[in-house]
Amino acid sequence: MPDLPAIRVVPVTPEWRHALLQLRVTAPQRDFVSDIEPSLSDAENCPGSEPMAILYNEEPVGYYRIEAHAGSLADRDFDRPAVGLRSFFIDHRWQGRGLATQALSALTADLGVRYPDARMVVLLVNCRNLAALRLYLRACFVDTGELYHGGRSGPQHLLWRTLP
């Protein structure tokens, strides 16, 4: 059997849930990323939302959720079929090791399989969250130049990336 890649993404199942609830971001990041418990609970109960775990050597190190209807992120429609990326983060103990970049590659590859009709993934990133903005731009996301003003911590850039 071939070795599993160091980073992989999987739907959240009961076996991963407890470990995921232990994940945290740094205090300054809390302005930009919701706590995992309400996000996870909402995703589990919201049709069209799928909670996902980021695993590093089979250990949960991050989380995100996919919105089957990208318009729910920015209250707008898109000209191509799109999914939304929300609540993406790597646990503070694992940050600074390049795992977020690897996780974005793994999740976009996964989205191409999981949502074969989708042509792009969209996300919002707070204008003050410069580290995340740089990360997404390095991961081939494109800043549309549009701002969304409905976020809890101020305006957010609208970014997109083509799916494989």
Where do the domains of the chain lie? 7-162
> What whole-number distance in Å separates Cα of residue 91 and Cα of residue 63?
8
Residue 153 has pLDDT above 70, yes or no: yes
Q: Which CATH fold would you assign to the domain 7-162?
A: Aminopeptidase (3.40.630)
Q: What is the pTM of this model?
A: 0.91
- Polymer length of the chain: 164
pLDDT digits (tens, 9 = 90+) for 95-145: 999 999 999 999 999 999 999 999 999 999 999 999 999 999 999 999 999
Helix runs in the chain, H state only: 14-20, 36-45, 71-74, 99-114, 130-138
